[in-house]
Amino acid sequence: MKITALHGQKHHGSTWNTTQLLLDLLISEDDECNEFFVNDIPNCIGCYTCIMKDEEKCPHRSLTKPIIQAIEQSDIIIIETPNYCMGMTGQLKTFFDHMAYRWMSHRPLDEMKNKVAIAVSTTAGAGAGVASKQIAKQLFWWGIPKVYRLNVAVAASKWDDVKPKIKFKIEQKAMKIAKKTKKNYERVCRGLRQKFIFKMMGGMQKSGFGTPKDAAYWKEHGWI
């Protein structure tokens, strides 16, 4: 089993520690895990190069490619972010902006339909659910059929200050999600909503409403 964990911030706080708990529950001796941080990726400049021409020509491709390749080769993807102002970190959103070409409306990777993902977020007060939902929405549009969400209000600004009762609650939630993930990661399939959107995107490409690059990709894969 291959796992990729993508961290939305280098700060080793409650969200990072929660993700480590989850990884400890998921990883065995035979598993492979890659971890990345998104902090050093520059802002997407909106040049449309990845969509109109070729993702390899993105000016930031040298930084994003190793992460993207690991994600595409993984069975399980974990993406985490602390709650910043009722949402994901700006650094993580920057990475998602660089993945626009992989949306179902452009050039989705077919293997995404076989993956399971987990969106993780914590907060001192409110907003962790909002942040994990934002991650899940991005992953849905990548074509990933099953996204679990682990979001917790820790009532503390530092992991060391989180009460044992809350840490126990986090461990229990992580254990349940890890168990479901191990059970289902080879059995997932797209639901009706995702299938409908994929078919609708195919109709758009067939009608010429996409880019020539996208249309050629869909034809190459036999989807239109």
Residue 84 and residue 128: Cα distance in Å, rounded? Answer: 9
Burial 140-164 (b: 16+ CB within 10 A, else e): bbbbbbbbbbbbbbbeeeebeebee
Average pLDDT over residues 207-213: 92
pLDDT value of residue 86: 92
pLDDT value of residue 202: 96
Contacts of residues 43-46 at CB distance under 8 Å and 24 or more positions apart, as own/partner, are 43/94, 43/97, 44/94, 44/97, 44/98, 44/100
pTM of the model: 0.95
2-190 maps to which CATH number? 3.40.50.360
212: pLDDT confidence band, cut at 50, 70 and 90? very high
Taking alpha carbons only, the member of 195, 43, 185, 62 closest to residue 117 is 185
Crossing angle of helices 164-184 and 14-26, in 10° steps, is 40
What element of type H or E holds 149?
Answer: strand 146-153
pLDDT at 40 over 90: yes
Q: Where are the domains of the chain?
A: 2-190, 191-224
Question: What 3-state class would DSSP assign to 150?
Answer: strand
223: pLDDT confidence band, cut at 50, 70 and 90? very high
Residue 218 and residue 215: Cα distance in Å, rounded? Answer: 5
